[in-house]
Each structure stands twice: as structure tokens, then as C-alpha cells.
Amino acid sequence: MDVTLHLAQDPEADALLGRSPLAALVGMLLDQQVPMEWAFKGPATIAQRLGADDLDAHEIAVHEPEAFAALLSQKPAVHRYPGSMARRIQQLCQYLVEHYDGDAEAVWKDVTTGKELLKRLAELPGFGKQKAQIFLALLGKQLGVRPTGWREAAGAYGEPKSFRSVADITGPESLAKVRAHKQEMKAAAKAAKAAGG
């Protein structure tokens, strides 16, 4: 894995996401209730605070929980909810150590079908079906991981030339399109709720 992603909109953070499977998974995990750039800059911030140039699942899995939470809470905080996200990141790393010997790339390395890959991603702590589908679309669209049926397994997020999620962001222009799509979805949900209530 060595591609240039544009999710953090920060060259160093994006370079880490493009070369580190664990950083990409952690960024995806953090991508909730905060702006996307903030979430995907998180892995680089964590690595820097650990004094490393990459994340190590073994190291994070055994890190003292309060110290790890404090690391994420330092200003600027890695997430709006640094304590709970620190727990989630450690749970993810512990799962990777237990099931994949700490190798995040092993989650998708030998998978032959999109359905199997979606199942593996959805089993990761902190990854529900939607997050798993978005990450699967990111793997297929930008990271060259394309097992048979990956687009179908990713659902709408796998559609070509769509602007629904982080999987479709390749620069500032596509970022604006994804943001516009998300605003439309929020407005539609709000209108549907108002009509029903």
C-alpha cells in the first residue's frame, strides 16, 4: 500500500494514510461526529505523539489505557470525544493483534470476494455495516483492493463517479461534492422526520 490519499487535506497525514493500513483503519474509525479532515489527521497526530512515524497495533493494544486517552486528549485533541475514541482504537488494535497478528493489511490481503471482505471489515470493533461499506469502497476505489464483487458489497458507496463518502475524495473539488451530498442527505432526513412527526 503506497498511494497518495487526500482525506486529511494535510500532506504528511495523507502520506501516512496512503502507506499505512492501520492508519487508514484508525482514520476511518475516528470519522464520526467530527469533520472528516480532523478524523483522518488523527492517525498522524497519534503516531507523532507516540514518537513514531507509523502506528503499531501491538504497541497501541498494550498501551496503558489512561495514558493513551491522555495522549489523544492533548490539545489539539484527536477527536471531540478523545477518551471514548482512545478505547475504541485500543479495542481495534487488540482485535487486530488477536485475529491478524497485528497486521491491519491482513484484513483484506488474501480475500477473494467483496462479500467476505465486507464481513471481515464489519467484524472490526467500531465498524458497523455502513462504515465497513465505506472503507471497502475506499479500498477498491483508491487503494487497488478489488476482490470479485467489491462494488456490489460496498453498496451505493461502490458506485463509480459517485460522491457519497471518503472513498470518493481525491482532492478539494471532490471533497466539496461529498460535503454537498452529505448536506442533501441531512436535509432530506430532517424533512422526512418533520413530515412524519
Q: Is the peptide bond before 147 cis (omega within 30 degrees of 0)?
A: no
Grid coordinates of 187: 436535509
Q: Grid coordinates in use for 117? A: 471482505
Q: Over range 74-93, report the average pLDDT.
A: 96
Whether the predicted model's global pTM rises above the 0.85 cut:
yes
According to DSSP, residue 44 is labeled H
| Distance in angstroms (rounded) separating the CA atoms of residues 164 and 161 | 9
Q: What does the pLDDT look like over 5-18, one tens digit per residue? A: 888 889 999 999 99
* Angstrom distance (rounded) from CA 31 to CA 54: 19
In percent, the amount of the chain with pLDDT more than 90 equals 73
pLDDT tens string 51-63 = 999 999 999 999 9
